[in-house]
């Protein structure tokens, strides 16, 4: 074959290929009433950190692990706090003994006051008959008042003893709370993205131990042109199609539409689309159904998002959700670990 013939053949192939590509790209991808855009799966990221300074005793989760809400993921050494707690509990015990002693003293002083009051009352009656002198009556009065003062002092001592119990109890409760807070738990069902500290490390308050992804708050942002975004209402039905499972569309809803327009980000594939202003739209996955797709929830996985802005439009067959085949994913070699 001559070079001229080869060149002509290449030109014809390029022309035919270009024509086919133009025809494919010019076909409408979605029926009327729908809009779509590409994006990446995102999820709320949470950092599990220390509340108080301390040395890490154990880290019980590794990267890729799935942890439940309330599950212990790390433990900070609390030996110094436990020693302080024992001291506070001993102070409570001592204060309780002092309180019992003070209460008994109050009872004695109250009995003495009752007797002195009765004695003074009798003396006052007998003075009228002359059987008792006024001096004796005044002595009984002084004894009664002295006993009353002693009772007030004993009652004050009892109050101080109770205050000591309350103070030691408050200290013990604070220490128990600190000890509890040094056991780090996952606030939500999540997947561990990064392990930032290891046993033996000493961290300050707010020291990061684990970074996790909230498996109940997963979404995708897509950018829609103003002509479509203006028709999208909050709560509109949507679909997310991940590149990893293109034949399993996932139901979602529109939870946010940006109130201001912006230039389409560079992640949009075509330069023509990037020149247009667009609105950012958030597609939120249903929290109840998300569990079925949990094993494929990985931040950054690419896909497409589709929004129905006309409620009378019928979803295309290709975007109708299908039953999830978990065995297929397992066979694909999913390495996510779950307890």
Please answer whether residues 44 and 213 qualify as being in contact, where contact means their C-beta atoms are separated by less than 8 angstroms.
yes
> Which residues on neighbouring strands pair with residue 227, listed in sequence order?
none
Q: Determine which helix (DSSP H) or strand (DSSP E) holds 112, and give its type and residue range.
A: helix 79-129
Tell me the whole-structure pTM to 2 decimals. 0.66
Query: What pLDDT was estimated at residue 182?
Result: 95
Instruction: Report the alpha-carbon distance of residue 61 to residue 194 in Å, rounded.
Output: 10
List Cβ neighbours of 80 (8 Å cut-off, separation of 6 or more). none
Instruction: Report the alpha-carbon distance of residue 110 to residue 78 in Å, rounded.
Output: 47
Which residue, chain included where needed, has tokens 């990061």?
A: 208
Joined together, the tokens standing for residue 103 give: 């209460």
Please answer whether residues 182 and 53 qualify as being in contact, where contact means their C-beta atoms are separated by less than 8 angstroms.
no
List Cβ neighbours of 323 (8 Å cut-off, separation of 6 or more). none
Q: What is the pLDDT along the chain (339 residues), one digit of tens a residue?
A: 555 555 555 445 444 444 433 333 333 467 888 988 889 988 889 999 999 999 999 999 999 899 999 999 999 999 999 999 999 999 999 999 999 999 999 999 899 889 888 888 888 888 778 777 888 888 878 888 898 899 899 899 999 999 999 999 999 999 999 999 999 999 998 999 999 999 999 999 999 999 999 888 889 999 888 778 778 888 899 999 888 888 888 889 999 888 877 765 555 555 555 556 788 899 998 777 777 767 767 788 899 999 998 888 888 888 887 776 655 544 444 433 333
Please answer whether residues 219 and 255 qualify as being in contact, where contact means their C-beta atoms are separated by less than 8 angstroms.
yes
Query: What pLDDT was estimated at residue 268?
Result: 55
Please answer whether residues 285 and 219 qualify as being in contact, where contact means their C-beta atoms are separated by less than 8 angstroms.
yes
Instruction: Report the alpha-carbon distance of residue 194 to residue 264 in Å, rounded.
Output: 31
């Amino acid at each position: 074959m001559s070079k001229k013939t080869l060149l002509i053949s290449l030109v014809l192939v390029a022309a035919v290929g270009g024509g086919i590509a133009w025809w494919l790209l010019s076909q409408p991808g979605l029926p009327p009433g729908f809009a779509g855009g590409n994006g990446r799966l995102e999820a709320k990221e949470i950092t599990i950190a220390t509340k108080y300074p301390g040395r890490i005793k154990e880290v019980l989760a590794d990267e890729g692990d799935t942890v439940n809400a309330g599950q212990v993921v790390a433990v900070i050494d609390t030996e110094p706090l436990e020693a302080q707690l024992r001291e506070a509990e001993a102070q409570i015990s001592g204060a309780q003994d002092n309180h019992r002693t003070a209460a008994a003293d109050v009872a004695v002083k109250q009995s003495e006051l009752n007797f002195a009051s009765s004695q003074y009352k009798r003396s006052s009656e007998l003075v009228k008959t002359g059987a008792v002198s006024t001096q004796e009556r005044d002595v009984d009065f002084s004894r009664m008042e002295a006993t009353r003062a002693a009772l007030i002092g004993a009652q004050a001592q009892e109050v101080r003893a109770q205050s000591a119990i309350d103070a030691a109890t408050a200290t013990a409760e604070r220490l128990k709370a600190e000890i509890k807070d040094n056991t780090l738990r996952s606030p939500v069902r999540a997947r561990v993205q990064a392990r930032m500290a290891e046993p033996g490390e000493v961290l300050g308050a707010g020291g990061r131990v684990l970074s996790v992804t909230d498996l109940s708050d997963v979404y995708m942002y897509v950018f829609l042109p103003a002509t479509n975004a203006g028709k999208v209402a909050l709560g509109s039905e949507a679909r997310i199609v991940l590149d990893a499972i293109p034949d399993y569309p996932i139901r979602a809803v529109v939870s946010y539409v940006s109130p201001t327009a912006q230039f389409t980000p560079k992640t949009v594939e075509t330069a023509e689309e990037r020149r247009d202003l667009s609105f950012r739209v958030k597609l939120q996955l249903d929290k109840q159904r998300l569990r079925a797709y949990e094993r494929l929830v990985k931040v950054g996985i690419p896909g497409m998002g589709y929004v129905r802005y006309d409620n009378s439009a019928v979803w295309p067959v290709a975007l109708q959700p299908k039953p999830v085949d978990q065995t297929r994913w397992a066979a694909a070699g999913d390495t996510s670990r779950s307890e």
